[in-house]
Structure 1
Amino acid sequence: MASSHSDTSGQQHLERQMSSRHMLMLSLGGVIGTGLFLSSGYTINQAGPLGTVLAYGLGALIVYLVMMCLAELSVAMPYTGSFHVYANKFLGRGTGFTVAILYWLTWTIALGSEFTAVGLLMQKWFPASPVWVWSAIFIVIIFVLNTVSVKWFADTEAWLASVKVFAIIGFIVLGALAMFGALPLRDGGEAPGFSNIVADGLFPNGFMAVFTVMLTVNFAFSGTELIGVAAGEAKDPEQSIPRAIHGTLWRLAIFFVVAIVIMSALIPYQSAGVEQSPFVTVFEMIGVPYAADLMNFVIITAILSAANSGLYASTRMLWSLANEGMIPQQLASVNRFGVPFFAMCISMVGGLLALLSSVVAAGTVYLLLVSVSGLAVVLVWISIAASHIVFRKRYLAEGKSLGDLAYKAPGYPWTSWAALILSSLSCILIVFDETQRPALYYTVPFVLACYLAHRIFVGKRGKVSS
């Protein structure tokens, strides 16, 4: 088996094979998925057109602030599973352990739901085929792609993400032409345009709805932080990490915010929902041939891309925990391609167990797991912002010069504090949303259980107790 390598700090890292393009497409692949293609309809319905535009604008701002913090940390310390290592170093080992478990759980639960979803979507074209057959086929494909090499995985992810990007660009171009009257609708009429955004008042369900949907919006942006997970496998991290982060951020701002503006201008908020993708609705309004089949293909691609990224992310989190000595170190071993094979097997089994729990214990175990994983990404963002604040204070306290940092987050300390406060508020505000409120009831005890497990099984020595 190949071994991982040590950098000058003594930190073990995996093979550095990922370019800035790979990292950019990995992040876009992790972010652009059902949150934009499906859940955006729910957000429009709940917050209204203008409220949704504001919510996604605020979500983009939060992501920008968090990623500036992560960029500085990742360039200064390009470690695999970065934010878990930073939380471990700057916020305490119990916090680092909990952050890693939460993030691993997020992607593992996602794996289970994604493999089910892709099987259901394939039935649209092959109605007589069982869901489990397609799920099994794609499970094998994603597993093999992640096993062979990091470069194969990254190249595949780049192609899968490209399909989604081209679909969004096409949606924006055609939707914008329809908005401004340059493209007639299929029924021969004209699109309502910007007047639709304020047709029923600025905030038809109240201004508070903007904030109660923020957690849903943040879920849609989750995955941006995958660049941090991949930092330990980045070629030339001082150059590739900031380039990938900035490239991701401006693309996301355009893709998400502009796409939401177009949806809000063309679809009455009362009829928006999750039964049909807003993309399908708009394409059908414009008269795009085979709109439903086209978007079925794009959404399948989006789900496979997310599963590909998810297995990668959950594997690296387990590898990082093992590398830090918090779980058995056998999981830190890699195969001849430099891939943490055992950690990947555990993550895939976790995804299959999540899939099983969704069938046999949907109202108990699976509901708890989904609720916890829903909040987990925002809790990770909070840890990134807090780690950055402590990092800067320690860095200066040690007499080091800011000029020695290869990348500095702009606007410190305001950037870090704003990221911390806004991320925290988006968690707290779900108290006002009856449908999302139970997530807090499950997550708080789960987080406490993680701290307790760390104390019992890992202990003060920071290594797995024998």
Structure 2
Amino acid sequence: MVDQIKAADEAQEPEERTLRRNLTNRHIQLIAIGGAIGTGLFMGSGKTISLAGPSIIFVYMIIGFMLFFVMRAMGELLLSNLEYKSFSDFAADLLGPWAGYFTGWTYWFCWVVTGMADVVAIAAYAQFWFPGLSDWVVALAVVVLLLTLNLATVKLFGEMEFWFAMIKIVAIVALIVVGLVMVLMHFTSPGGVQASFTHLWNDGGWFPKGISGFFAGFQIAVFAFVGIELVGTTAAETKDPEKSLPRAINSIPIRIIMFYVFALIVIMSVTPWGSVVASKSPFVELFVLAGLPAAASIINFVVLTSAASSANSGVFSTSRMLYGLAQDGAAPRSFGRLSRRAVPATGLSFSCLCLLGGVVLVYLIPDVITVFTMVTTVSAILFMFVWTIILCSWLVYRRQRPELHEKSIYKMPLGRLMCWVCMAFFVFVLALLTLEDDTRQALLVTPLWFIVLGACWLVIGKKRLAGARH
């Protein structure tokens, strides 16, 4: 297959060997929404509600507020030079080759780790309908399917993400509407509890678990936002990025309020927060209360497509990041080759091969939840590193290229101040991760990745980058 790709590449004209701008505004808007709605909202919200009570609403709002400024910084940088393919490109340009190398490979690793967790999750969700089917068969089938679809064209990726995101949106809107109707009709549960907005403040106030419960919510809630920067990896394949990217980024606050805040308000109004079971999806519980017998099947389907969407995004973004790294000489040259359909096929195949680690996990570890928590914590810590690099790049850009900032039609609001506020916030979240045993272990393991990367940079990276310049 690799030989066929090489032959196809040699048959191309040099000017055709570039990523094509085939993603439309419709695709970009839904990719951005899909990135902002993680699987954690469907499955993890029960745990966050039980930890923090109604104050979890403020947790999601604070995280969303901070990440909006990270996305604004990324948007201004990407639009300042349309040659940038992703944030690893502007990191390399503004901070130095090391930053592009560390950012690119870390982002690749983030999505491979997240993708492996998603593959394991999909295998578990599939058991709902196919209890007799082996987990590893499902996991393998998912990886093969993702590879096949992504090898076709970037437009097909856009279509898949469009419909995956649409399913998530419909499910959340349905939950909000059903919940509101139950509150307005004063629905009474079998346990004799009447649906009412007063549950938000009557059962111990907004902070029933105190400040410690409020802080505990951050540890899990931050995982739900992993992937919000995904729109930044589509920059080189977006039609009319000057319009599409700002529109997608500007709608982030509305999305956070609509999909996270409203959904949580409705859930805790119908079911008092003290009655929410941490291990169950409150989405399923609400639909069951509403008398929808197929609730479990429907939400299982939604969560399965949400995990598939995340894995699909991971395959796309990792292959584009490898393509950019190869162009800069920081990854094997073969990752920088495009197929006749302008897809980085070798990078795609490599990323999917790494996703097969999820199949191995199904074999080796019986307690998937423990591994899932540790894996997602490592992923979230690494994502915070990437978000910090974006902010550092903006600070350097603001200092070194003030003329570009002046000309920018999409300036980051409260630029320097919010960069430092956001970075201080990430340090605060890291400090919170030391409070629980499982997240503390992940925090201690994460530096190993940077040690490995640093060693590779000293041995291989500098030589490759020197070769790329000559």
Q: Normalising by structure 2, what TM-score?
A: 0.89
Is the CA contact 2:27–2:159 (under 8 Å) kept in the aligned structure 1? yes
- Structure 2 match to 1:236: 240
**Pairwise CA distance, 1:381:** 1.0
Shift of residue 333, structure 1, vs aligned partner: 0.3
Q: Are 1:451 and 2:454 counterparts?
A: yes
* CA distance 1:449–1:201, change in 2 (3 Å): same
Q: Distance in 2 between matches of 1:402 and 1:98?
A: 25
Contact 1:161 1:305 in 2 (8 A): yes
How far 1:463 sits from its partner (Å)? 4.4
Query: What letter matches 1:392 in structure 2?
Result: R
C-alpha distance in 1 between matches for 2:462 and 2:198: 58
Letter matched to residue 340 of structure 1: P
Q: Secondary structure at the match of 2:465?
A: coil
Alpha-carbon contact 2:49-2:278 (below 8 Å) kept = no
Determine the structure 2 residue equivalent to 1:170.
174
| Aligned residue in 2 for 1:421 | 424
**1:40 and 1:406 mapped to 2: Cα distance?**
37
Task: Tell me how far 1:219 sits from its aligned partner.
Answer: 1.4
Letter of the 2:158 counterpart: A
Q: Is the 8 A contact 2:284 2:295 kept in 1?
A: yes
Match of residue 147 from structure 1 = 151
**Do the aligned residues in 2 keep the contact of 1:197 with 1:265 (CA within 8 Å)?**
no
> What letter is aligned with 1:99?
T
Residue in structure 2 matching 1:266, options 262, 265, 270 = 270
* Residue of structure 2 equivalent to 1:67: 71
Letter in 2 for 1:385: L
- Residue in structure 2 matched with residue 46 of structure 1 by the alignment: 51
Look up the SS of the partner of 2:293 in the other structure. coil
404, 419, 439: which one aligns with 2:442: 439
- Mapped to 2, the partners of 1:204 and 1:275 lie a distance apart of 20
Q: Is the 1:97–1:326 contact (alpha carbons within 8 Å) kept by the matching residues of 2? A: yes
Structure-to-structure mapping, 1:52-201, within 5 angstroms: 52-78=56-82, 82-181=86-185, 185=189, 190-201=194-205
**8 Å Cα contact 1:4/1:334 also seen in 2:** no
Written as runs of structure 1 = structure 2, the 5 A alignment for 1:340-359 is 340-357=344-361, 359=363
Q: Measure how far apart 1:90 and its partner are.
A: 2.3
1:321 aligns with 2:325: yes
Which range is displaced more, 116-125 or 235-244? 116-125
Question: Take 1:367 and 1:301, find their aligned partners in 2: how far apart are those partners?
Answer: 20
Using the TM superposition, name which of 131-140 and 266-275 deviates more. Answer: 266-275
Aligned position for 1:405: 408
- Aligned twin of 2:3: none
SS in 2 for 1:415: helix
Aligned pair count reads 458
1:26 corresponds, among 31, 42, 48, to 31
Give the share of equivalent positions with the same residue, in percent.
Answer: 30
Distance change in 2, residues 1:166/1:460 (3 Å) = same
* SS of structure 2 residue aligned to 1:330: helix
SS in 1 for 2:415: coil
Asked if 1:277 is matched to 2:275, the reply is no
List gaps (5 residues or longer) in structure 1: none
C-alpha displacement of 1:314? 1.3
C-alpha separation between the residues in 2 aligned to 1:91 and 1:165? Answer: 38
Of residues 337, 341, 347, the one that matches 1:337 is 341
Give the Cα separation in 1 of the matches to 2:371 and 2:133.
28
The answer to whether the 8 Å contact 1:104/1:317 transfers is yes
Q: Using the TM superposition, name which of 93-102 and 373-382 deviates more.
A: 93-102
Judged with a 3 Å threshold, the aligned counterparts in structure 2 of structure 1 residues 448 and 365 are, in CA distance, closer, same or farther, namely farther
Give 5+ residue unaligned stretches, structure 2. Answer: 1-7
CA contact (8 A) 1:53 1:257 kept: yes
Deviation, structure 1 residue 296: 1.0
Higher helix residue share: 2
TM-score normalised to structure 1 length: 0.90
- Measured in 1, the distance between the counterparts of 2:413 and 2:204 equals 39
Tell me how far 1:423 sits from its aligned partner.
Answer: 2.4
Displacement after TM superposition at 1:187 (Å): 6.9
For the aligned residue pairs, the C-alpha RMSD in angstroms reads 2.8
Deviations 1:369-406 (A, max 9, x none): 6543231111111111111111111112xxx2544213
Contact 2:199-2:272 within 8 A present in 1 as well: no
Amino acid at match of 2:214: V
Aligned to 1:245: 249
After superposing on structure 2, the runs of 4+ consecutive aligned residues of structure 1 that deviate more than 6 Å are: 3-7, 361-368
Deviation of 1:5 (Å)? 7.7
Distance in 2, Cα, partners of 1:44 & 1:188: 21
* TM superposition shift of 1:429: 2.4
Q: 265-274 or 29-38: which moved more?
A: 265-274
Q: Residues 351, 461 of structure 1: CA spacing in aligned structure 2 closer, same or farther, 3 A cutoff?
A: closer
Q: Partners in 2 of 1:165 and 1:36 — Cα distance? A: 12
Alpha-carbon distance in structure 2 between the residues aligned to 1:322 and 1:168? 39
Aligned 8 A contact 2:120 2:362 in 1: no
Task: Work out whether residues 18 and 342 of structure 2, in 8 Å CA contact, stay in contact via their aligned partners in 1.
Answer: no
Alignment correspondent of 2:308: 304
Could you tell me whether the CA contact under 8 Å between 1:46 and 1:213 is conserved in 2? yes
* Match 2:209 to one of 195, 201, 205: 205
Preserved CA contact (<8 Å) 2:18 2:338: no
Structure 2 Cα separation of the partners of residues 77 and 65 of structure 1: 19
Task: Give 3-state SS (helix, strand or coil) of 2:23's partner.
Answer: coil
Given the superposition, is the C-alpha separation of residues 193 and 249 from structure 1 closer, same or farther in structure 2, using an over 3 Å criterion?
closer
User: How many Å separate the matches in 1 of 2:312 and 2:291?
Assistant: 33
Secondary structure of the 1:409 match is coil
**Residues 213, 348 of structure 1: alpha-carbon distance in 2 compared, 3 angstrom cutoff:** same
| Residues 207-251 of structure 1: per-residue CA shift (max 9 Å, x gap) | 133233324222101211011011111111111111122234422
Query: What residue number does 2:4 align with?
Result: none
CA distance in structure 1 between the aligned counterparts of 2:190 and 2:15, rounded to whole angstroms:
60
CA–CA distance in 2 between the matches of 1:159 and 1:129? Answer: 26
